[in-house]
């Protein structure tokens, strides 16, 4: 199978869906001639023209609000936020309008809107450009949240998001764009809300998503080679809908659970996963659930401090060893 970068997989998904459906329209800051800050939309304005690939003013509240209105009246807009941190500028449009309109209208108004944004640390971009906001979107009913970690998942989940009749936030990690992986040439999509077992194991289950999947897989290899511990690794792929069934199925085999994500530990997705497991499968646990997450501090710029604030493979290994005692 051919290999594509994460960037190429996302771009291919956009091209195929724009060719399939003329109602798909892209908008955002510098996504046209510049091709986006991470070059996902590079070349698309030449293929589809400025009417369907729209450069917008530096006003997230304006163009996200415009996208909500377009979605309500029959289009399928994809609004790109240059950095996830800027979602706060358009919070009312996302959380009070897009998320609630279908329910408040009794189902008469659909909002088939996709918001793409990248988040996360690891590049020394500082506290205002390194945050992970998936929990904020997960908390608000009416929004689906996809967080792909591989090029295959990025393309398949984005295609499903663009076909969905509800608002979907597709969250990418800024350090995943150059990563490569197999992507089939034939058309495919991945259902929103279906987790994937990325590595089989028998001693403990590691649940994660986004870039943290790469660290979890590294940690699993270290555990196997250095300690003889077999870890199963599950990629949630979406936090809404949240596939707890796959997690519990794995837990019934391993009886130990570690949840890891880059976002702050407090009130994070890991806490939600842990609580749902406690409610539904407490008797399957042979040890308390372990959580390895970002420190509850603003993300530092200095590389050494940033790596300490954000969970690394060594932190996952340490958590797993403590869990196995």
Which of 182, 209, 230 finishes a domain?
A: 182
Residue 210 lies in a domain: yes
Structural domain span for residue 147? 3-182
Instruction: Find the CATH number of the domain harbouring 16.
Output: 3.40.50.970
**Percentage above 90 pLDDT, the chain:** 99
User: Which pLDDT belongs to residue 291?
Assistant: 97
Question: Does residue 1 surpass a pLDDT of 90?
Answer: no
Co-location of 140 and 25 in the same domain: yes
Tell me the mean pLDDT in the region 33-53: 96
Burial 281-316 (b: 16+ CB within 10 A, else e): beebeeeebbbbbbeeeebbeeeeebeebbbbbebb
Mean per-residue pLDDT of the chain:
97
User: Which pLDDT belongs to residue 196?
Assistant: 98
State how far the Cα of 144 lies from the Cα of 150, in Å rounded to an integer. 19
Co-location of 206 and 149 in the same domain: no
What total of structural domains would you count in the chain?
Answer: 2
Q: Which of 80, 129, 261, 262 is catalytic?
A: 129
Co-location of 161 and 202 in the same domain: no
Co-location of 59 and 85 in the same domain: yes
Active site residue 284: no
Co-location of 204 and 123 in the same domain: no
Q: Which of 12, 17, 29, 60 is catalytic?
A: 60
Q: For the segment 163-174, what is each residue's pLDDT rounded down to a tens digit?
A: 999 999 999 999
Co-location of 110 and 230 in the same domain: no
Phi, psi of 53 (to 5 degrees): -125, 95
Q: For the segment 210-259, what is each residue's pLDDT rounded down to a tens digit?
A: 999 999 999 999 999 999 999 999 999 999 999 999 999 999 999 999 99
The reported pTM is 0.96
Report the candidate in 307, 221, 220, 292 with the shortest Cα–Cα distance to residue 260.
292
Report the candidate in 166, 162, 192 with the shortest Cα–Cα distance to residue 107.
166
Co-location of 248 and 104 in the same domain: no
Which of 122, 154, 182 finishes a domain?
A: 182
Residue 190 lies in a domain: no
Residue 187 lies in a domain: no
pLDDT-derived band at 137 (thresholds 50, 70, 90) equals very high
Residue 191 lies in a domain: no
Which of 182, 204, 236 finishes a domain?
A: 182
Co-location of 177 and 303 in the same domain: no
**Percentage above 70 pLDDT, the chain:** 100
Question: Does residue 56 surpass a pLDDT of 90?
Answer: yes
Q: Let me know: does 211 contact 173? Beta carbons within 8 Å.
A: yes
The two three-digit tokens of residue 309, written as one number: 């604030």
Tell me the mean pLDDT in the region 33-54: 96
Q: Which residue shows structure tokens 């950095």? A: 83
Active site residue 255: no
Q: Let me know: does 310 contact 125? Beta carbons within 8 Å.
A: no
Please report the beta strands in 16-75, taking only residues with DSSP state E, as ranges in sequence order. 24-28, 53-55
């Amino acid at each position: 199978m051919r290999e594509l970068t994460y960037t190429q997989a996302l771009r291919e998904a956009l091209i195929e869906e724009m060719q399939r459906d003329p109602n798909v329209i892209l908008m955002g800051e510098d996504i046209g001639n510049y091709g986006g800050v991470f070059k996902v939309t590079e070349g698309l304005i030449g293929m589809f023209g400025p009417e369907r690939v729209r450069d917008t003013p530096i006003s997230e509240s304006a163009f996200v609000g415009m996208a909500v209105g377009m979605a309500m009246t029959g289009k399928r807009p994809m609004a790109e936020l240059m950095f996830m941190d800027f979602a706060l500028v358009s919070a009312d449009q996302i959380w009070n309008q897009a998320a609630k309109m279908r329910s408040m209208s009794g189902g008469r108004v659909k909002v088939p809107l996709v918001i793409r944004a990248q988040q996360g640390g690891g590049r020394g971009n500082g506290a205002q450009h390194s945050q992970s906001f998936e929990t904020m979107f997960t908390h608000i009913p009416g929004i689906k949240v996809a967080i792909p970690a591989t090029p295959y998942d990025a393309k398949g989940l984005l295609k499903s998001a663009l076909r969905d009749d509800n608002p979907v936030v597709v969250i990418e990690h800024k350090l995943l764009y150059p990563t490569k992986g197999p992507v089939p040439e034939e058309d495919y999509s991945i259902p929103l809300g279906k987790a994937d077992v990325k590595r089989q194991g028998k001693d403990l289950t590691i649940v994660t998503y986004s870039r943290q999947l790469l660290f979890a897989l590294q940690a699993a290899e270290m555990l196997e080679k250095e300690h003889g511990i077999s870890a199963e690794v599950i990629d949630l792929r979406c936090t809404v809908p949240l596939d707890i069934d796959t997690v519990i199925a794995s837990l019934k085999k391993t009886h130990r659970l570690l949840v890891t994500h880059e976002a702050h530990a407090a009130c994070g997705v890991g806490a939600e996963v842990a609580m749902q497991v406690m409610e539904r499968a407490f008797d399957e646990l042979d040890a308390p659930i372990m959580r390895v997450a970002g420190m509850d501090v603003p993300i530092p710029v200095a590389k050494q401090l940033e790596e300490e604030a954000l969970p690394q493979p060594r932190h996952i290994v340490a958590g797993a060893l403590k869990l196995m005692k």
